[in-house]
């Protein structure tokens, strides 16, 4: 929980640099833009949902009343989770509209992240639920997708997401941290943020980039002195 | 005309649900986003225009003076229609700029919907014409398209549009209603809006989704009582 | 220099019409949208940068310290240039973040144009550097690209850009003028703007398009009289 | 079993016509071409496998020894089944090579169908296993995919496939029959083949198409007489 | 007719070089590969057909009996024409199968060219009709397309085709000659073939390319002497 | 040279497994299929060529006579090299036709690999030059590309290729070995081939996959005994 709280002060850009240094290059969920301009940063455990393509005998309005429905999935979401939805990148059928988003908001879901789209954008914005997606479309999910289950491993935006992995999402989109690496990654990310802030202050004072970013020995010493001096 | 007026109180999201129940899944025109944030909803009869790819001997600035030109098409548009333009999804040549949009606005055209792009976005916004498209580009239409006619069946955003079909367009994009189905669809859509508003009020009061949306017998009875009581 | 200054009063839409009349159809850099809404128009000489795909033995954080690095390229940029970056249309790795953009701004670079994306969008906007790109992503360049050099001929958004060609960029995106054609093109573009402004005034007074745009002999005479009268 | 045997005399083209008449339009698995020219038709129950994107901490050669591996899945395949693999359309990492295909052939698997690719094409052809895929690539699955399970609902080539649905595959690719519709569909398909053969014989004798295909009353009567006469 | 006959000795590659020299760059129909390996070259006048996307109320098996049907179009095709079909690049619904191709073959149609696909590939090959397309698929046209008319201007593979333009098609695909340019183009193409044959003979004798192709004055003189000597 | 000769007995599939174990995942050049069925395996040093998009003032038939032309590049190719051409994946303009391929064959070039296409496929096959590409098209390079130089770092099929890197290419396409890793990679690849051949022999005798591939301790011991016994 401490790790999750610390993450809220880390940008997704910094986080991807830290993950790359640990050998993880494919951690940014493509096609997950904030639906609302200026949406603030959110971190949470991934609660996964999975869709497959539509089949006229399966993807029907009647299917919404089946036990394996998006409705059932929503009632299983724990408070503070981030719903991560594999919509296979489908951009012409909205996975959720205002009613489902309103219920998620009521349940305390921290955010909705999908490589697909939502529908009734005015209504969804009205619920206040933080949403990251690739856009909006009017048609219902059953026009383009069949819901098949939750808390399974999924593909969201070309990234492998397992239940309970951690998601950090801000204006640059959503980044995944494998559950097993959380503590290591957060520690490194907090330090990386401090370092980049120092670099930025040097650039503002007119420093040239070669030798500074990444730092040569002279600049590294300068930074260490800055840290030793309390980072001011 | 009554139907068209009623449509302005229906969202495109609701409309697609109604059309799906009538067996029509492919009615949302892909790639038609509002050019202006907050653009209000518009409904009207489709007036179609058709482009094909450019050929250096045909798509020239000189072609703009031919009888079969976009200029001629605009002068044939009736007041209140929605111009629906098959630009074959071309995103690097703008079909219209400020001058043509200004003339459409003068003629009382209700809106412009295309799977292509417009050019001179500042100028087009200045005309006040409501526009839905996939974006903007600087080059003129002849750099990427040849105009071939109007009021023919077209493909716009992957949807078949016949002249005089009805178009409803809002922040979720543009949806087609086949001309023959207009009255049936509007009646059902108005009822669907009332029903979804009631569902939303239940969710706001904390109701869980399974059994509510879609409703089980108990909730259906509750809704019927609400309607019988005047829908308040 | 006079030509560059005059260009700031020409729209990219007008410029593409002028270039088309000179036989140049492929001059608009696809995927270069302004990062900041309302970004004003910029013109300058192109300073090119080139990336190729990543290779795990080359595209590493360590590579940032090599002589052939983006850092080196930035220090070679002259004041007033526009950095044009061939990112091969990669949309899941940001070519630059806040630190590099801050340094470019310090050096007086007039703008950054790329068919790729930037990272840390909040930070980049904070630097004030005018940026045109296809969007934003969190991962660093080395997650998806290898930097290989500057001031070479490049492909940016499907357009051939040679060092010192001229770039004009506004809300409709970026347009290239071959260096050898600059004076001719600017002269024609300024005249084209005056002509289109006159057309627009006629449309506002209710003129129909056929015979006006493009003009028949009668309207051409009317325009010539307007120009002879001082263009008022 | 009788139904499956009858299917081997039906083309996938005829089968899709029959399914369309029952309201199923999305039943053809995109990107499933025969690897061997002239590969003969195969029918069988679907045994599904599912991949998601690669993650450097998961998709490793070491993962091949895990219990949830493609090796485990192959040992669970019943004789006569068709392995249907959701490879998310990935075309630059082969899901299986010669060794895995050889083992499937040994186990009596009737065929392999995937929207991805295989690797070591010469070796795979050498095993004799009938394969339908979108092509070939040299890299191993872990370079582009992570295996996550078998006998789950999947997306293969944009079609929803549930375990034990029926697959028919020939030179036109793979078509799905929902398990519940098998008998109805096979009966209708066998009749449709007989009807189309009669039509073809009429065309060969010089008949014009309007009124013949689909038949008007006169031609329908002629066909019924042909059927009553023993279909000769 | 003489021009068409001469074209059969010209490659499409040579033809595109000749058209480029006349300013026409966009004349090669993308996605039109020969269905049969080794298919010989064909030339003819274009007879155009046009499809738009499917709509469940229009694209039905019943529509095949309407007056505006593919059946009607086929009966209107003159002997020796090439049917050029705008299928909007759709690759998951076959425009024609064996029955329609058999009828076209009976009517003496010289070839079928489309940016879409055919179905029942074995049956189509059996009819002997020369076909160029982007591949094959099992589903019928109504699963993905609605037929709307013939002998209209169309887009086929990104090229503008007007009725009665000329098409030449070989193993490199299909190339369009605008009807008005036929005689000029054929004369130049026959000469270009002779010239390239001479170049090839020089290369086979070990000549280096610079100065030969394109020729400098010395080589041009050598070629002229060759031509003057009867081209032997 | 010994390493290159040994490579001819290694499949590209095996090679990618070896490179993955060394941390290199992106080494297979997408879109490089053999032009001739059954083309045999080739290995050689990469000689790179680079194209950018066309510009009407640059990409002309006249440009073929410039010093920086494909003709000049071909005369600079050493015997035994593999020409690797960055055509930016363009599929509608052939980079080379029969004449240029004939000259390359004369110079002893071992093969041509490109992410683009060639033209005049019959003529190119006639030269005997081994070619890997994504297909064929009739138009000349200047219709879609501008040539800018040779022996520079390039992108071919999404892979970074530096001059003198090593390329191995067979029926599964082309794989890159960074020059610095050649000896290590070849040694490991030869061993990997021997190991996979042994696995295949076990599968043919009916062995199950789990525990065999990858091998558990028992099977590893069995393999070591096989190797110790001379690998027979």
Chains with ≥3 CB–CB distances under 8 Å to E: B, D, F
Q: Are strands D166-170 and D159-161 parallel, antiparallel or unpaired?
A: unpaired
pLDDT at B165 over 70: yes
Instruction: Work out the number of other CB atoms within 10 angstroms of the CB of residue F188.
Output: 19
- Looking at residue B63, its pLDDT comes to 77
- List, for residues F196-209, the tens digit of each pLDDT value: 999 999 999 999 99
In F, which residues are within 8 Å of D129 by CB distance? none
Which residues in E216-226 are b (16+ Cβ under 10 Å) and which e?
eeebeeebeeb
pLDDT category at D68 given cuts 50, 70, 90 is confident
Residue C151, CA distances (Å) to B124, C83, D10 in order: 36, 10, 62
* pLDDT tens profile E89-146: 999 999 999 999 999 999 999 999 999 999 999 999 999 999 999 999 999 999 999 9
Q: Specify the pLDDT at position B202.
A: 97
pLDDT confidence bin for B1, thresholds 50/70/90:
low
Contact call for residues D55 and A24 (beta carbons, < 8 A): yes
Tell me the shortest Cα–Cα distance from C68 to chain A, in angstroms.
Answer: 11
Q: Which of F195, F209, F219 to mutate to test the interface with D (most CBs of D within 10 A)?
A: F209
Chains B and E touch (3+ CB pairs under 8 A): yes
F with D: 3 or more CB pairs under 8 Å? yes
Tell me: the pLDDT tens digits for B190-223?
999 999 999 999 999 999 999 999 999 999 999 9
Count Cβ atoms below 10 Å from residue E181 Cβ, excluding itself: 17
Using DSSP bridges, classify how beta strands A42-52 and F111-114 pair: parallel, antiparallel or unpaired.
Answer: unpaired
Residues of chain A in contact with residue D155, where contact means CB-CB under 8 angstroms, are 52-53, 88
| CA-based nearest distance E175→chain F, Å | 8
Confidence of residue D1 (pLDDT cuts 50, 70, 90): low
Closest alpha carbon within chain C to B61: C21
Q: At what angle do helices B182-204 and B12-21 cross, to 10 degrees?
A: 120
SS3 for F93?
coil
CA-closest candidate to residue C129, choices E209, A203, A231: A203
pLDDT band at A232 (very low <50, low <70, confident <90, very high): low
* CA gap C53, C42 in Å, rounded: 30
Q: Which segments of B33-167 does DSSP mark as H helices, in order? A: 70-75, 98-106, 121-127
pLDDT at C217: 94
Residue B68: pLDDT band (50, 70, 90) is confident
Cα of first residue to Cα of last residue in chain F, in angstroms, is 28
CB-closest option in E15, E203, E216 to F138: E15
Which is it for strands A42-52 and A166-170: parallel, antiparallel or unpaired? antiparallel
Token pair, residue E182, equals 């036929």
**F105-115 as b/e: b if 16+ CB within 10 A:** bbbebbbbbbb
Residues D175-184: tens digit of each pLDDT: 999 999 999 9
Q: What is the mean pLDDT of residues E44-51?
A: 98
Mutation target among B192, B199, B210 for the A interface, most CBs of A within 10 A: B210
* Helix (H/G/I), strand (E/B), else coil: E13: helix
Predicted local distance difference test score (pLDDT) of residue A62: 77
**pLDDT surpasses 90 at A194:** yes
Would you say residue D154 has pLDDT above 80? yes
Q: How far is CA A36 from CA A135, B214, F6, in A?
A: 11, 28, 58
Cα–Cα distance list, B18 to A120, A143, C199, D27 (Å) = 14, 12, 45, 24
- Considering only CB atoms, E25 lies closest to which of B56, B153, B161, namely B56
Predicted pLDDT of residue B58 = 81
pLDDT of res. C232: 63
Instruction: Check C143 against A15: CB less than 8 A apart.
Output: no
pLDDT of residue E106: 97
CB-based contact A32:A173 (threshold 8 Å): yes
Model confidence at D48, pLDDT cuts 50, 70, 90, reads very high
* Torsion, CA C186, CA C192, CA C196, CA C199, rounded to 10: 160
Res D89: pLDDT: 97
Q: Are A200 and A13 in contact (CB under 8 A)?
A: no
Structural tokens at position F155: 């992108």
Rounded to an integer, what distance in angstroms lies between the CA atom of residue E174 and that of residue F138? 8
As a whole number of angstroms, the distance between CA F152 and CA F49 comes to 7
The pLDDT mean for chain B works out to 94
pLDDT at B232: 63
Per-residue buried b or exposed e for F86-96, using 16+ beta carbons within 10 Å of the residue's own CB: bbbbbbbbbbb
- Contact between residue A53 and residue A98 where contact means Cβ atoms under 8 Å apart: no
Contact at 8 Å (CB) between B160 and B106? no
List the one residue out of D39, D11, D26, D20 whose CA is nearest residue D158: D26
Identify the closest residue of chain E to D210 by CA–CA distance.
E71
pLDDT, block means (10 residues), chain C with 232 residues: 86 96 95 95 98 86 80 96 98 97 98 98 97 97 95 98 97 97 95 95 95 94 93 68
CA distance B17 to A138: 9
Residue D111 and residue D130 in contact, taking contact as beta carbons nearer than 8 Å: yes
Question: Which of the other chains make 3 or more beta carbon contacts under 8 angstroms with chain F?
Answer: C, D, E
Chains E and A touch (3+ CB pairs under 8 A): no
Residue of C nearest to A16 (CA): C139
Residues constituting chain C: 232
- Reported residue count of chain F is 232
Of the candidates E65, E74, E140, the beta carbon closest to that of D20 is on: E140
Q: What is the pLDDT of residue D232?
A: 63
pLDDT at A52 over 80: yes
Burial bucket for residue D135 (CB in 10 Å: 0-12, 13-18, 19+)? middle
CB pairs under 8 A between B and C: 91
Give the pLDDT of residue A1.
Answer: 61
Q: Best interface-test mutation with F: which of C160, C165, C182, C184 has the largest number of F CBs within 10 A? A: C160
- pLDDT band at residue D63 using 50, 70 and 90 as cut-offs: confident
Q: Which of D30, D172, D176 to mutate to test the interface with E (most CBs of E within 10 A)?
A: D172
Residue E215 pLDDT class (50, 70, 90 cuts): very high
Go through B139-166 and write b for each residue having 16 or more CB atoms within 10 A of its CB, e for each that does not: bbbbbbbbbbbbbbbbbbbbbbbbbebb
- The residue that leads in pLDDT, E1 or C138, is C138
Query: Given a cut of 80, is residue E61 above it in pLDDT?
Result: no
ipTM of the complex: 0.94
Mark yes or no for CB contact E11/F75 under 8 Å. Answer: no
Length of chain B, in residues: 232
CA–CA gap between residue F113 and residue A112 (Å, rounded): 45
* pLDDT confidence of residue A58: 81
Q: Average of pLDDT values for F86-100?
A: 97
Give the pLDDT confidence score for residue F61 in this predicted structure.
73
- Looking at residue C68, its pLDDT comes to 85
- pLDDT tens per residue across span B28-66: 999 999 999 989 999 999 999 999 999 988 877 777 778
Residue with more model confidence, A38 or D47: D47
């Amino acid at each position: 929980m401490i790790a999750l709280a610390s993450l809220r002060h880390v940008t997704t850009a910094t986080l991807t640099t830290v993950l790359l240094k640990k050998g993880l290059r494919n951690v940014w969920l493509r096609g997950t833009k904030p639906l609302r301009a200026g949406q603030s940063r959110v971190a949470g455990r991934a609660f996964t949902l999975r869709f497959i393509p539509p089949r006229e005998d399966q993807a029907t309005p009647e299917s919404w009343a089946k036990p394996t429905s998006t409705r059932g999935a929503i009632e299983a979401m724990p408070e503070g989770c981030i719903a991560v939805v594999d919509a296979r990148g489908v951009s012409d059928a909205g996975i959720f509209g205002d009613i489902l988003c309103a219920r998620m908001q009521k349940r305390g879901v921290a955010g909705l992240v999908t490589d697909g789209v939502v529908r009734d954008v005015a209504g969804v914005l009205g619920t206040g639920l933080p949403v990251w997606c690739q856009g909006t479309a009017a048609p219902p999910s059953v026009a383009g997708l069949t819901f098949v289950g939750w808390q399974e491993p999924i593909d969201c935006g070309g990234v492998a997401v397992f239940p309970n992995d951690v998601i950090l999402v801000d204006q640059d989109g959503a980044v995944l941290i494998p559950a097993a690496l959380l503590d290591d990654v957060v520690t490194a990310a907090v330090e990386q943020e401090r370092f980049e802030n120092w670099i930025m202050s040097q650039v503002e004072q007119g420093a040239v980039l070669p030798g500074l970013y990444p730092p040569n020995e002279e600049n590294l010493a300068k930074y260490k002195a800055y840290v030793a001096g309390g980072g001011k």
